[in-house]
Amino acid sequence: MSNWLAVYLLLVLIITGGFVIMINRPVTMPTTTNKFPEKPITMIVAFGAGGGADLVARALEKVAPQYLGQPIVVVNKVGGAGMIGWNELAGSSPDGYTLGITSTILQPLYESSKYHYLTALTPLARISSLPNVMLISADQPWQNVHEVIEYVKQHPGQLKFGHSGVGSIAHVVGETFIQRADIDIRQVPFHGGSESIAALLGKHVEIIFAPSASAKEQIKIGTVRALAVSSEHRLTNPDLAQIPTFKEQGLDVVFGDRYGVAAPKGLPPEVEMKLAEGLKAMILNPEFKRNMDDLGLEIEYLGPKEAQDEWLADNVKFNKIIQETGILEKIKEQKN
């Protein structure tokens, strides 16, 4: 019996000693964020292939594996003037595996949308700004905006200006120019910047407002003349650097589309940090910058906090201007 008792006591000591060791040992919980990302990341583009937002996404796609360790897969979700794609982004799981290209989101100012994007999305980076240019065909006599203004004052209501759709950034720029100049020009909406450029070349309108990147080639070959650009400063692209700003010519018309990357609200902090740092490195990559230069886009990087502040400021700015210029009323009339 004494031998059995000795064995029993020995077993108790071994078991309890091991248990104490297990209790005192620090517990490490498994985590997936340390390994993020472990699979390809989907990048939603709310507009069609070949457009500005799509081209920005494709440029990011080229350099993503180098900085994120996983590829980006671009998916176009077209419709609703961008709302179909942005709604899918806002409703996605906030795990970092679904991101989206954002531009200046005006639609919620015009109509109710499923999500309030300012609170449903988390901006991770602002990539660039895309201003609009005021264009006329090269055979028109006007050499600057003041000559256009003088002509319109002598011939009110005779000229027409085209743009890429009612409520678009191009429309906002055009109506703001008209308001600031206190002139009367009729607006003609088209389906996109390319269609409005074709209308200008076909003499269907005398003036258009279009994204600088869309008009770059026509400006370069000389079929159109750019009278002003809606940026704060002149563009640095050699094919566009000669275009004066509206501000240089005494008109406060400073609007542009802003391309960035956002995620659904609620990302784990570690995932948000990894994505933000990876995107910053991608955007500042020389190859990415060259791709943007070729598109006529200039890198204007902002981090998450600065991009969020800009979103809020833009919302106030555009809300004011669409009421001042009557764009909101035009949209209501169009729906009716």
What is the assigned CATH class of domain 39-129+258-324?
A: alpha beta
Q: What is the pLDDT of residue 30?
A: 38
The H or E element spanning position 140 is none
Q: What is the pLDDT of residue 20?
A: 42
Are 189 and 176 spatial neighbours (Cβ–Cβ below 8 Å)? no
At the topology level of CATH, where does 130-255 sit? D-Maltodextrin-Binding Protein; domain 2 (3.40.190)
Are 171 and 129 spatial neighbours (Cβ–Cβ below 8 Å)? no
Per residue, the 3-state secondary structure of 53-69, as one string, reads HHHHHHHHHHHHHHHHC
In order along its 336 residues, the chain shows pLDDT tens digits of: 445 444 444 444 444 444 443 334 343 333 445 689 999 999 999 887 777 788 889 999 999 999 999 999 999 998 776 888 999 999 999 999 999 999 887 777 777 678 888 889 999 999 998 899 999 999 999 999 999 999 999 999 899 999 988 888 889 999 999 999 999 999 998 877 788 999 999 999 999 999 888 888 999 999 999 999 999 999 988 889 999 999 999 999 998 888 999 999 999 999 999 999 999 999 999 989 888 888 778 889 999 999 999 988 888 888 888 888 888 887 777 666
Q: What is the pLDDT of residue 12?
A: 45
For the whole model, what pTM was predicted? 0.77
- Contacts by 323-331, CB closer than 8 A, 24 or more apart: 324/179, 325/172, 325/175, 325/176, 325/178, 325/179, 326/175, 327/166, 327/167, 327/171, 327/172, 327/175, 328/109, 328/110, 330/166, 330/167, 330/187, 331/110, 331/111, 331/166, 331/167
d(CA 216, CA 247): 21
| DSSP, res 98 | E
Listed in sequence order, the residues at least 6 apart from 171 whose beta carbon sits closer than 8 Å to its beta carbon are 163, 164, 165, 187, 189, 209, 327
Q: What is the pLDDT of residue 336?
A: 62
Domain boundaries, the chain: 39-129+258-324, 130-255
130-255: same fold as 39-129+258-324?
Answer: yes
